[in-house]
């Protein structure tokens, strides 16, 4: 294993750590869905960087590109990312269900409000209690 492949492995680990931090941002701001597009876009950029790096790593000669410790660290980060992504999926689905329930409740409240408004007479005179 030479210095170039070691540097590439360290860079890959660094990108994976950035990816983990983006996953943490998603988990912490799941209710603030307006910002999720930006975070997901940044994650997509990290994925592209990883893809380019993988292409470069496969172009290197030799089977031993990363040391066993580096491989173990990469595997642990990938496992963490998978677990975080599953958590994100579950949280997003829960947030979708909550939003749908809120929309249904809001629509029902609007129907009730429309019904209450229509109960008041729209024409005619009202009696004055003083007379």
Q: How far out from the chain centre does Cα 72 lie?
A: 26
> Which pLDDT score is estimated for 112?
72
- How many whole angstroms separate alpha carbon 68 and alpha carbon 72? 6
- Reading the chain (131 residues) residue by residue, the pLDDT tens digits are 567 777 888 888 999 999 999 989 888 887 777 788 888 899 999 999 999 888 877 766 555 677 889 889 999 999 999 999 999 889 889 988 998 999 999 888 887 776 665 555 555 556 555 55
pTM: 0.70
> Which pLDDT score is estimated for 15?
92
Largest alpha-carbon pair distance within the chain? Answer: 104
Angle at 35 (CA atoms; ends 82, 77), nearest 5 degrees: 20
Instruction: Summarize pLDDT for 55-71 with one digit per residue, the tens.
Output: 877 766 555 677 889 88
> Which pLDDT score is estimated for 117?
58
> Which pLDDT score is estimated for 120?
54
The SS3 of residue 7 is: helix
> Which pLDDT score is estimated for 72?
93
> Which pLDDT score is estimated for 95?
86
């Amino acid at each position: 294993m030479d210095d170039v492949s070691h540097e590439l492995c360290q860079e890959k680990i660094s990108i994976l750590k950035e990816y983990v931090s983006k996953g943490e941002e998603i988990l912490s701001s799941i209710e603030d869905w307006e910002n999720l597009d930006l975070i997901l876009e940044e994650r997509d950029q990290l994925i592209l960087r990883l893809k380019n790096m993988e292409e470069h790593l496969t172009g290197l000669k030799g089977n031993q590109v990363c040391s066993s410790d580096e491989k173990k660290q990469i595997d642990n980060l990938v496992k963490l990312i998978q677990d975080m992504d599953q958590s994100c999926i579950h949280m997003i689905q829960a947030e979708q269900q909550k939003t749908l329930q809120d929309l249904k409740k809001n629509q029902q409240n609007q129907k009730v409000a429309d019904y209450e408004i229509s109960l008041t007479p729209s024409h005619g005179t009202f009696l004055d209690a003083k007379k």
